[in-house]
Structure 1
């Protein structure tokens, strides 16, 4: 009995420290590092993934990590009885190294490491405290990025960044565990980016860049790009259930096990929702992840399989004149819109590093994808009897690989690293078509094509630290494309090839007083739909048309600064400009993207993330943009749906093992709907909130979305449509998709 009492007393007087040791400048986990409690004989040695776990007495303690070739790192923290405290220790090599830090998300100090003011990192800690309406809002953690929707929840989100109406991904590139997610020559829009399959709880980091200044960035990266990385394993199993307004229910089960010499991660997520719509959405989503990892992120192998299926009924944007006489704000003018989609991917990434500073990464992937999307934006304008519904269908398989090798170079500056890389991708599109439909039944074919599209790219970049205050980055990228289109109209069949070279340059000055200044410039590009590169006759009208350029040149420049001079604050400011020889814009009445005139976007971004205390964090991001066509058209130079003002911010209070509360604000300024600016979409402000608590292995949270019950529009377009009884020529009107009304979601998660 005395022994039991002594054991219980000991448990109450100790706490648990779980942490990771990484290398500054590369974020590589460091194995065999000694982690000791200063003034005690307690300690541990990190495993292959740089992790350690030890029990320590309660109170204020200091940990010290030490390893040959690195400066010691100390961390002082407070340990509470019976609680687990997590810590990241970063060791600085005594032999300067260059690279990218991926440790604590927006709390990471990137001064001296980042190559541009607008690049950054988001970690799971920032994602976990945000109330999310839709999983695609993971990308709203990128400062200045906006994620909305103008149709059902199974369709790819609508993205906005740097004054671009990116439609469903055009000019913004994203990858998940090395698999590129943008789809070229897509049935609905060039660069279509569907992230509805994401499981936010598995996202470890989102590394982002804006502008085309990085030689590793290829197609669709003009406005920006994001590399989403999933966790390799979980510290504990997770079972989560969520339920809320409008018949929303979701469930997640995830766990990882030690299997052989590696870790196996398994996760399954399901979701159902009807939404606030008069016509229930009946949205059914299922996604899963299976990932096996061996070794470490520095020397190891990862194999990831992802599967996703979604089926839904959509309430698309509706004409303003139809509300409230014909339908309500949440009504529909075609109850059979919607769709079904799925994507199944398999990817493997191998990494190897040497003590001499050489690093090699190789990734290979394959994917199968399908989409059947039914929309009706003009109602009865083209077909007064059966209506204007149309189907966009896409069936494809795509596969590719990319490899990069980096090495240090002696005799150049104080430290120099060169990277060479190459990538290859082939899309075999078995069918990409546009069909006239009525209640999802095909009644005519506009066009039906098969496309083979191959892209290859190669690049070289060098980063050199010449002095303690001067770093340069030089890069050159080349891309070659081959298109082969087999159309149902022979005249629209053919092949096309194209090549484009894109030089990049960057300069970093500092740091002085934890502040660094950057100058960056580079050329980039986006590809056009393969069908448009060989087209001769408009399949809808039969009129002769000119083909578009396969590759469109883009240019970007940026000057900015980053500071960590104030303790706990990470702040950046960037002045930037982007020029495109042809803007890709979404056409509301056609339901897809089309090449438009040359354009210029200029703006300023100010981002801030502040850790006020160990339980309070604050964020404020402001983006102001001026976007204009530069071709001098007589009807105006405004770019439709270019947002000139984005302000986002949040207050995040609490600790992961106790009470939490967060408030997230998103403001969008007014935006033009016509080139002359005569019609404007109104500004909107949305507020989301979360409160929750953790009691042992159970965490409970309540999200209130659209807390102020705003009746704003997610998106708005101006075009001509026809309602029953209206003139045959139709009526020009604003068509909008409303934000969802105030709703609540309650979740409970069990760690096991």
Structure 2
């Protein structure tokens, strides 16, 4: 019986050897035909076997075809024309892809090398269908992300996502070209993320992710993150003029400074700028006189054959007036003349931010890519607000000045390598970095009519975050396993310089130093059944840091509260023109940061953490290409947010969204006519913990119509097409007017923009 077994093994060995020798190994590179830039995550498919791989950061791929016969491969990348190529022998091929309009029928669901695959499909589709016009539009590109502006475009937007009222960025990490936008220990709110230094026409791509599942993202990434990338190469220079209601005007321009020969060498240099002015709306006694000026410059050049250097700079200058939030009773009682009035006419703001970024990308060989980035920001804010009338100070009123001057330094380095073992690929990423924020001064003053009365809080604050992570993507056949581990260390310092009784009562005798560290593991699994259906499971731990002033005041309590999340979802193409992404999700937070509960931005503000919270819900996104020229999108987002430590009925999370929806219908004809109509819907939500106050929902519709030719574009956009009455920002305040015997606890609001048409003209050259 032994001989037949040996014979069987020999035959099997010969068959395996024959099969291996019959394999054809195809190596290649995929690049942009015009810019010669490598395209990462382009999909290369063997049409005979159906085997597919994706390109790495260098645009390179290795495809093992099961046959020595000539094979046909398809190379696809969202936003580019598919390429079909016949390979007759083992060779290294160069595939050049040309940009085109995005067609849903060209998109197939494939086993990816990243857990962000589905969101990258959505982001490419959405940016192509309706390009962003403002910083608010950029944020609204993320399905389920709602924004609210309550200082005329001068302050950072208020953010809401996945059952979070994330204030100005407490639970949403925002990045531009790898540089963090969120500012810790900000004078106005923890994690404050002012995106207005980014000129929207310069955004070439963006990626986003919801939840706590991404090893290369740390602080504030609990609800999720969004990261914008400016264009490396400007398609064409332009000058744009816009004007509309409320004395609104905008002038923007971007100019290529190098010719086509430089582009062929991989070089690019362009500059851009914008100037914006508006009175901001029908405010009766406080015209906003909002002004903003931006400048941006970016330079890219190869350094030899293996390195690419990128240098960019940007700056923002902005100044405005604001009516501010007013209580609901203010109009009813006649204390304010209309919902467009103000009880304090000296609420103003001024801010600047100047950034510099230097990147070096190096190909070290052996499938190893090394990316290094250093960044610097200088930031200033001077903000006068009055939310509560005469509640804290009956005689002089509750006008306060929040101010800071900040220098931000940072650096991060990543090594990425792709290796193969048989049919299994291993993409490994190592990363280390730091950021240091130096705030001097950081404070709060009591003012009246813009004049100084007394200092309430003033100090010097330092915060440093050191981090490192490792992230492994293992792909075998239809499976993708992503395993990551991240470590963050924080060092805090706050030196009180105020002699006020409030500040000395909080910080007197306390150690100004504190530190803490946290480990964040991540596991993501994805299985692709076929080119039409993919199932994924994501799970991980994240965190959000607390304000340095609260950290010192509480002597290290709840410095880095943890967040634990899980997503179970799928990507599905039931037809060639329909793409669906759906996820069930769950998130637990060890300590919630709600508006006004954890930050010292008011006199005697509460110092206790808000306690544990839980959220669960479902997200749905659908994109349907009705016709080649007609594109539809729908997002439905449900969340159930609750506090764990409070009694039932008193455990609502104030301002947390529960149901939101956005949708659009966009068209693009070959004759140059394009545009679309879109809506955003926010359901009613709790205004306070027992839901005795309601934050009213809204349904707002916008319209855009353009006529685009090679050398020019004429366009009309209308915000709030049907002129509905709605409130953009709503918050609970306990306020008291002069003459009132007692304070009143109720919702305050700033009205949303009414019917707002704008015209634009763009010249391309």
- Deviation string 1:322-345 (CA, Å, 9 cap, x unpaired) is 125232111111111021001001
Matched residue, 1:178:
178
User: Alignment partner of 1:701: what SS?
Assistant: strand
Deviation at 1:90, TM superposition (A): 6.4
Does structure 1 residue 416 correspond to structure 2 residue 426? Answer: yes
Contact map agreement 2:133 2:201 (CA 8 A) in 1: no
- Distance in 2 (CA, whole Å) between partners of 1:222 and 1:608 is 24
1:563 aligned residue (556, 572, 587): 572
Deviation string for 1:230-289 (max 9, x for gaps)? 001222210000000001100001111227662111001000010112210000100111
Q: Is the 8 A contact 2:34 2:98 kept in 1?
A: no
User: Does the CA-based 8 Å contact 1:111-1:563 persist in structure 2?
Assistant: no
Of 305, 310, 332, the match for 2:313: 305
Tell me the distance in 2 between the aligned counterparts of 1:91 and 1:174.
38
Kept in 1, the 8 Å contact 2:38–2:58? The answer is no
Q: How far apart, in 2, do the equivalents of 1:531 and 1:440 lie? A: 25
Measure how far apart 1:150 and its partner are.
2.4
Please identify, of 155-164 and 655-664, the stretch whose mean Cα deviation from structure 2 is larger.
Answer: 655-664
1:363 aligns with 2:373: yes
1:271 aligns with 2:265: no
- Equivalent residue number for residue 6 of structure 1: none
Contact 2:717 2:759 in 1 (8 A): yes
SS of 2:139's equivalent in the other structure is: helix
Match of 1:33 in 2: none
**1:126-165 aligned within 5 A:** 126-127=126-127, 130=130, 134-165=134-165
Alignment of 1:522-537 (within 5 A): 522-535=540-553
Q: Which of these residues, 506, 509, 513, is aligned with residue 495 of structure 1?
A: 513
Residue deviations 1:395-431 (CA, integer Å, cap 9, x gap): 1101111111111234486111111111111111111
Contact 1:306 1:346 in 2 (8 A): yes
Summarize the alignment of residues 210-609 of structure 1 with structure 2, pairs less than 5 Å apart: 210-258=210-258, 262-276=267-281, 277-278=283-284, 279-295=286-302, 300-324=308-332, 325=334, 326-353=336-363, 356-411=366-421, 414-466=424-476, 468-488=477-497, 489=504, 490-492=508-510, 494-535=512-553, 548-587=557-596, 595-609=609-623
Normalised to the residue count of structure 1, the TM-score between the two structures is 0.84
SS of residue paired to 2:138:
helix
C-alpha distance 24-396 of structure 1, shift in aligned 2 (>3 A): closer
Matched residues in 2 for 1:181 and 1:215: separation?
18
Going from structure 1 to structure 2, the CA distance change for 1:122 and 1:229 (only over 3 Å counts) comes to farther
- For residues 288 and 505 of structure 1, the distance between their equivalents in structure 2, rounded to whole angstroms, comes to 41
Q: Residue 590 and residue 746 in structure 1: after superposition, are their counterparts in 2 closer, same or farther (change >3 A)?
A: farther
1: CA distance between counterparts of 2:253 and 2:590?
Answer: 47
1:368 to 1:24, Cα distance in 2 relative to 1, 3 A: closer
Contact in 2 for aligned 1:23/1:90 (Cα 8 Å): no
Q: Is the 8 A contact 2:666 2:675 kept in 1?
A: yes
Q: Secondary structure at the match of 1:533?
A: helix
How much has 1:568 moved relative to structure 2? 2.8
| 1:679 equivalenced with 2:693 (yes/no) | yes
CA contact (8 A) 1:122 1:205 kept: no
Q: Secondary structure at the match of 1:120?
A: helix
Contact 1:153 1:314 survives alignment (8 Å) = no
Distance 2:385 2:557 in 1: 26
Give the match for residue 203 of structure 2.
203
| Other structure's SS at 2:169 match | coil
List alignment gaps of at least 5 residues for structure 1: 1-16, 30-47, 51-68, 77-85, 537-545
Distance 1:575 1:298 in 2: 43
What do residues 656-708 of structure 1 show as CA deviations (whole Å, max 9, x unaligned)? 86001200110011110111122212221010001110244110110011011
TM-score by length of 2: 0.83
2:14 matched residue in structure 1: none
Query: Distance between the aligned counterparts of 2:453 and 2:76, measured in 1?
Result: 69
The answer to whether the Cα contact below 8 Å between 2:110 and 2:531 also exists between their aligned partners in 1 is no
For the structure 1 residues 470 and 172, does the alpha-carbon distance in structure 2 shift closer, same or farther, using more than 3 Å as the test? same
Q: Could you tell me how far apart the structure 2 residues matched to 1:102 and 1:548 are?
A: 55
2:399–2:446: 8 Å Cα contact kept in structure 1? Answer: yes
Q: What is aligned with 1:82?
A: none
Tell me the residue number matched to 1:742.
755
- Taking a change above 3 Å as real, the CA distance of residues 435 and 253 of structure 1, as seen in their structure-2 partners, is same
**CA deviation digits over 1:14-67, x for unaligned, max 9?**
xxx9867887753599xxxxxxxxxxxxxxxxxx999xxxxxxxxxxxxxxxxx
Q: Measure, in 2, the Cα distance between the counterparts of 1:90 and 1:553.
A: 46
Question: Relative to 1, partners in 2 of residues 1:135 and 1:89: Cα closer, same or farther, differing over 3 Å?
Answer: same
* CA pair 298-612 structure 1, distance change in 2 beyond 3 A: farther
- What SS does structure 1 have at the residue aligned with 2:754? coil
- Cα distance, 1:351 vs. partner? 1.5
Deviation at 1:132, TM superposition (A): 6.3
CA displacement at 1:209 relative to structure 2 = 0.7
Compared CA separation, residues 321 and 106, structure 1 to 2 (3 A): farther
* CA contact 1:124–1:201 (8 Å) conserved in 2: no
SS in 1 for 2:594: strand
Distance of aligned partners of 1:639 and 1:244 in 2 relative to their CA distance in 1, 3 Å threshold: same
Aligned to 2:595, what secondary structure does the other structure show? strand
- Corresponding residue for residue 676 of structure 2: 662
Q: Provide the C-alpha distance between the structure 2 equivalents of 1:479 and 1:591, rounded to a whole number of angstroms.
A: 27
1:702 corresponds to 2:716: yes
Contact 1:118/1:574 (<8 A) preserved: no
Take 1:298 and 1:563, find their aligned partners in 2: how far apart are those partners? 39
Alpha-carbon distance between aligned partners in 2 of 1:344 and 1:239, rounded to the nearest angstrom: 23
| 1:543 corresponds to | none
C-alpha distance in structure 1 between counterparts of 2:197 and 2:236, whole Å: 22
When structure 1 is superposed on structure 2, of 496-505 and 481-490 the one drifting more is 481-490
1:718 to 728, 732, 757: 732
C-alpha displacement at 1:357, in angstroms?
2.4
Partner of 2:66: none
- Residue 299 (structure 1) shift: 5.1
Contact map agreement 1:151 1:317 (CA 8 A) in 2: no
Match of 1:539 in 2: none
SS of equivalent residue, structure 1 residue 338: strand
Which 5+ residue runs of structure 2 have no aligned equivalent?
A: 1-31, 45-56, 60-69, 498-503
Partner in structure 1 of residue 41 of structure 2: 26
Change (3 A) 1:740 1:642: same
Tell me which residue corresponds to 1:56: none
CA distance in 2, matches of 1:75, 1:287: 36
2 CA distance for matches of 1:120 and 1:631? 38
Cα distance change on mapping 1:264 and 1:20 into 2, 3 Å: closer
**In the TM superposition, what whole-angstrom CA distance separates every residue of 1:69-90 from its partner, at most 9, and x where no partner exists?**
99644799xxxxxxxxx94446
User: Which range is displaced more, 736-745 or 718-727?
Assistant: 718-727
* Structure 2 counterpart SS, 1:551: coil
Distance 1:105 1:616, change over 3 A: closer
**Distance across 2 between alignment mates of 1:469 and 1:430:** 53
Separation in 1, partners of 2:132, 2:73: 39
SS of residue matched to 2:575 = coil
Residues 1:517 and 1:461: Cα distance change in structure 2 (over 3 Å):
same
Closer, same or farther in 2 for the Cα pair 1:357/1:70, shift >3 Å? Answer: farther
Q: Secondary structure at the match of 2:378?
A: strand
Shift in Å, 1:718: 2.1
